[in-house]
């Protein structure tokens, strides 16, 4: 698939998921076994239930970490959440920025934006907004945000160089990002790389961890750190949809790993000499 086709797949899949609950996503990606070959999107996700500001209606189990945990969000900050979905991380971030801060969620799926806005209407927050846009071309002004967060979304973006360049652009000098994402150690079998469902489910869109970190470095960020890393165990019942028994055994013995990482980086202020 070319980049436009990949984006179409992601929009379609996440549009379907937007109309389901966390419980339904735990049984299959869109609540029916015929929809997505029983791919469970929640195998990557962390437990948000203890987080201040957590809204269960906004949690579809689509993340792979807790980016707000390491984001260093302060009262009064302006936070941008890329791929904000139903608003889960936005509502947690809003609890951290308080009444004097602002939170902006960006997503390119209409159904997700609608769900997020309805969730916010119920809560009545005036300092949260949800904006439609593509992460490769963020429709927001330069040097606006103190913190950028994202949860298991950038691996779905075909051009990650553009994405991180955009993050650098919209951050204020001295600002920083905290992103949870999926990366690889080793190469996925070709059949998995071509699986559209797994691409939209955060596996086949992932790249090698060193390549991911290099893209961040080349975008101009400093103080790049992996704050958390965990190996993702993809169930055999999912992998067997794409691999034969012998291919599955070879894959499991290959040392190839799928990992969730939470990484931070800073856009340092220009120093006048």
CA atoms of 217 and 251, how far apart (whole Å): 31
CA atoms of 30 and 173, how far apart (whole Å): 40
Mean pLDDT of the chain: 86
Report helix, strand and coil shares of the chain as percent, to nearest 5. 35, 20, 40
The count of residues in the chain is 273
Most confidently modeled range among 41-50, 155-164, 184-193, 232-241: 155-164
Q: Is the pLDDT of residue 273 over 50?
A: no
Buried b or exposed e, range 144-182, using 16+ CB within 10 angstroms = bbbbbbbbbbbbbbbebebbbbbbbbbbbeebbbbbbbb
151 vs 198 pLDDT, higher one = 151
3-261 in CATH: which number?
Answer: 3.40.50.150
Q: Report the pLDDT value the prediction gives residue 14, as an integer from 0 to 100.
A: 78
260 vs 177 pLDDT, higher one = 177
CA atoms of 58 and 179, how far apart (whole Å): 19
Q: Is the pLDDT of residue 194 over 70?
A: no
pTM of the model: 0.85
- Give me the percent of the chain exceeding a pLDDT of 90: 56
Consecutive H or E run containing 252: helix 245-253
Q: Is the pLDDT of residue 81 over 70?
A: yes
DSSP string, 139-158: -S-TT-EEEEEEES-GGG-S
Q: Report the pLDDT value the prediction gives residue 31, as an integer from 0 to 100.
A: 34
Q: Is the pLDDT of residue 223 over 70?
A: yes
Buried b or exposed e, range 49-79, using 16+ CB within 10 angstroms = eebebbbebbbbbbbbbbbbbbbebeeebbb
Q: Report the pLDDT value the prediction gives residue 88, as an integer from 0 to 100.
A: 96
Q: What is the DSSP letter of 255?
A: -
């Amino acid at each position: 698939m070319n980049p436009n086709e990949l984006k179409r797949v992601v929009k379609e899949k996440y549009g379907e998921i937007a109309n389901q609950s966390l419980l339904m996503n735990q049984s299959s990606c869109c609540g029916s076994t015929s929809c997505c070959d029983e791919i469970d999107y929640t195998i990557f996700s962390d437990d948000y239930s203890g987080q201040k500001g957590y809204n269960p209606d906004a949690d579809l189990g689509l993340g792979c970490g807790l980016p707000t945990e390491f984001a260093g969000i302060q009262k009064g900050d302006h936070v941008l959440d890329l791929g904000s979905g139903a608003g889960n991380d936005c509502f947690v971030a809003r609890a951290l920025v308080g009444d004097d801060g602002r939170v902006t969620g960006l997503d390119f799926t209409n159904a997700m934006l609608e769900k997020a806005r309805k969730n916010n209407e119920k809560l009545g927050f005036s300092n949260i907004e949800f904006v439609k846009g593509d992460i490769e071309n963020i429709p927001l002004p330069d040097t606006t945000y103190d913190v950028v967060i994202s949860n298991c979304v950038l691996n779905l973006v075909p051009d990650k160089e553009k994405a991180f360049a955009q993050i650098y652009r919209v951050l204020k000098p001295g600002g920083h990002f905290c992103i949870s994402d999926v990366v690889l150690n080793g190469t996925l079998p070709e059949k998995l790389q071509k699986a559209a469902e797994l691409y939209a489910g955060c596996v086949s869109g992932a790249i090698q961890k060193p390549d991911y970190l290099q893209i961040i470095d080349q975008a101009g960020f400093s103080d790049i750190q992996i704050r958390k890393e965990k190996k993702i165990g993809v169930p055999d019942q999912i992998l067997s949809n794409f691999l034969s028994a012998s291919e599955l055994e070879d894959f499991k013995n290959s040392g190839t790993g799928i990992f969730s990482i939470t990484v931070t980086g800073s856009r340092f202020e220009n120093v006048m000499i």
